[in-house]
Amino acid sequence: MTVIDANRMQEIEARYPEYFHRSFRQRFGGLMILIATLLYGLYAVWFFDLPKLLAEAHWERVGIYLSQWVSYDVQPDFRIQDDGSIEVRYPRFSPLGDNPHPDWVVNNPDGSITVSVSGTSRSITVSKSETIVTAHGVSVPVNVSSGAPQVVGPVPSWMTVYDDNVLADLGFAGDVSISVDRVKVRKRFLGWANFLFDTQSSFFDKPVGDVLGLIVSGPRIKPDQSNLSLAFDDIWNNSEWQHGDVWTKLFQTIVMAFLGTLLGALAAFPLAFLAARNITPNRLLNQILKRFFDFLRSVDMLIWALFLTRAFGPGPLAGSGAIFLTETGTLGKLYSEGLENIDNKPREGIKSTGAQTVLVHRYGIMPQIVPVIVSQTLYQWESNVRGATIIGAVGAGGIGLKLWEAMRTNANWENVAYMVILILIVVFLFDAASNALRHRLMGTNSH
């Protein structure tokens, strides 16, 4: 064991005072940051009233919306006539077509109708005097022969009784609403209905093998058009999914992002040379251009889109203009800062040879600034693909407007899911392409 005497200890303290005589900030700085963070968190909880928001939130809607993204429903309506017969009706634009006869709706010999909502575990049997709901291991009769529907026996927790109807929640499989003269069933299916062919198509409701057989070697459905061309037209002009319109709007979004970013980069490039202090020694001009860049980028792209849609009307021109204005400010600031941070020695060396200003910029500045320009421009282009979707929702065209229209109906969530997936795929592809191109142009390894 080594023993250090008092003189040696004083010598060590004098040599390393930062370890033995730490300031208040050094000793308690971390603790103060932790306390400040906790206090801010408590303030945020109080300011936003988070306990109340969490208590009053409709969490059940999350599951409903998510289920509607990946499923669709069919809603048969059973009308009990005065003579005791039961008429089956389907919505006008039913996924089953104009004349549906699903195998899960069975006419019984006694005149009643049984609807299989989820196999035999969840079903509804409709007759003129009562409706029997089978779910969660029990069968609950509902009498409909009197003035109001009445549940026979105890009311289960998944069934709600109102004055004029009884609602039974069957979980993801669907639900049923029972009144005296009407029983409305909602049966849910996983997947997207009629994604390729709508109910008006000649290929609707045909098995995959039959469709492929018709396309490859089958007789022509329309004498003046091949089956392959007809199938493509039916998919492209699908009235329910509107593939043609969705893909056209998606292409508009991509063009908006590319055109706006390209024009913004072309405008920002020469302005950045005038804004850089070390390139253009005019302080007034430098400050005017930098404040101009600040103005353009401080107004959000969404606000520019609102202004331009009023000026030019809805459409991709307003979207491209909004991206152009925002990118001129953003890229102008980035380019000018990159120019101000270059090494002046190569520039001064070329200038000392008597070279013209253009050659000084070409060989003394551009090799240093090109990596910054390429990297920032590609990143902004990639980011603007996402931004173009948002500004489309305010009328600037593209798939954003289509997405907003689908969300406003609050019923076409499967169409929303379809467009969101397309947007994600495009963003992932552009992200990968941007990274690969950036690494290739800058000569770095992408792995």
CATH number of the domain that residue 255 is part of: 1.10.3720.10
- Does residue 398 belong to any structural domain of this protein? yes
Ranges 53-57, 63-67, 325-329, most confident:
325-329
Give the pLDDT mean for 142-163.
Answer: 88
- Does residue 208 belong to any structural domain of this protein? no
Question: Residue 81 pLDDT > 70, yes or no?
Answer: yes
Question: CA-CA distances (angstroms) from residue 397 to 252, 319, 391, 442?
Answer: 7, 7, 8, 34
Residue partners of 153: CB distance under 8 A and separation at least 6 = 140, 141
Q: How many CB atoms lie within 10 A of CB 192?
A: 18
Residues 296 and 411 in one domain: yes
Q: Is 139 helix (H, G, I), strand (E, B) or coil?
A: strand
Q: Find, among 249, 247, 240, the residue nearest to 197 by Cα.
A: 240
Question: Residue 445 pLDDT > 60, yes or no?
Answer: no
Question: Residue 7 pLDDT > 80, yes or no?
Answer: no
Domain boundary among 129, 158, 190: 190
Question: Residue 4 pLDDT > 70, yes or no?
Answer: no
Q: Find, among 100, 127, 111, 107, the residue nearest to 187 by Cα.
A: 100
Question: Residue 336 pLDDT > 60, yes or no?
Answer: yes
The whole-angstrom distance between residue 254's C-alpha and the CA centroid of its chain comes to: 15
Residues 265 and 402 in one domain: yes
Q: pLDDT tens digits for 375-428?
A: 888 888 888 888 888 888 777 778 888 888 888 877 788 999 999 999 999 888
Residues 85 and 39 in one domain: no
pLDDT score at 34: 92
Residues 88 and 154 in one domain: yes
Read off the pLDDT band of 153 (50, 70, 90): confident
pLDDT score at 229: 92
Q: pLDDT tens digits for 10-28?
A: 676 666 666 666 667 777 7
Question: Residue 150 pLDDT > 60, yes or no?
Answer: yes
Residues 32 and 104 in one domain: no
- Does residue 195 belong to any structural domain of this protein? no
Domain boundary among 127, 162, 190: 190
The better pLDDT of the pair 145, 182 is held by: 182
Residues 179 and 289 in one domain: no
pLDDT score at 422: 92
Residues 34 and 182 in one domain: no
Residues 248 and 373 in one domain: yes
- Does residue 186 belong to any structural domain of this protein? yes
pLDDT score at 9: 67
Q: Which domain holds residue 23?
A: 17-57
Read off the pLDDT band of 230 (50, 70, 90): very high
pLDDT score at 266: 94
Residues 171 and 265 in one domain: no
Q: Is 315 helix (H, G, I), strand (E, B) or coil?
A: coil
| Tokens (6 digits) for 365 | 């500045």
* End-to-end CA gap in the chain: 51
Residue partners of 9: CB distance under 8 A and separation at least 6 = none
Residue with tokens 């292409």: 251
| Tokens (6 digits) for 338 | 């990159």
What total number of domains does the chain contain? 3
Residues 320 and 347 in one domain: yes
Give the pLDDT mean for 328-339.
Answer: 91
- Does residue 223 belong to any structural domain of this protein? no
Residues 287 and 427 in one domain: yes
Question: Residue 343 pLDDT > 80, yes or no?
Answer: no
C-alpha dihedral, 413 to 415 to 420 to 426, nearest 10°: 180
- Does residue 226 belong to any structural domain of this protein? no
User: What percentage of the chain reaches a pLDDT higher than 70?
Assistant: 93
Contact present, 114 and 106 (Cβ < 8 Å):
yes
Taking the model in full, what pTM does it have? 0.79
Read off the pLDDT band of 120 (50, 70, 90): confident
Question: Residue 207 pLDDT > 80, yes or no?
Answer: yes
pLDDT score at 442: 66
- Does residue 7 belong to any structural domain of this protein? no
Question: Residue 98 pLDDT > 60, yes or no?
Answer: yes
- Does residue 110 belong to any structural domain of this protein? yes
Residues 437 and 289 in one domain: yes
User: What percentage of the chain reaches a pLDDT higher than 90?
Assistant: 31
